[in-house]
Amino acid sequence: MHDIADLESRQIPGVGVASSEFVQAAALQSKALGFDPAMVFVPHPIQDRTDDEMRALADGALAEILRLLQSGDAD
C-alpha cells in the first residue's frame, strides 16, 4: 500500500495486487493512509503455489489490472 501511495504521489499510476484474504486489511490501511488505490485481489493462498499456478493467477488478473490503468482508476 505504501508503494502505491509513493507511486501515485509522483503521478505514476499503480494497481495493488493482493490475495483475497487481505481485502479488509487493504481497506483499513487505505483509510488510514487517506487514499483509495486501485486494487485487484487474487484467490488466496498464494505462498504455496507453484510457478505455473502463480503465472495462471497473474494471467487471470492482468486484464483487470490493465483496465484499471487504462481507465484512469489507478490515478
Q: Is 64 exposed, middle or buried (0-12, 13-18, 19+ CB in 10 A)?
A: middle
Could you read off the pLDDT of 27-66 as tens digits, one per residue? 999 999 998 999 999 999 999 999 999 999 999 999 999 9
The answer to whether the beta carbons of residues 20 and 43 sit under 8 Å apart is yes
Q: Is the pLDDT of residue 75 over 90?
A: no
Extents of the domains making up the chain: 2-71
Is the Cβ–Cβ distance between 65 and 40 less than 8 Å?
A: yes
Q: Name the one residue in this structure whose C-alpha cell is 507511486.
A: 7
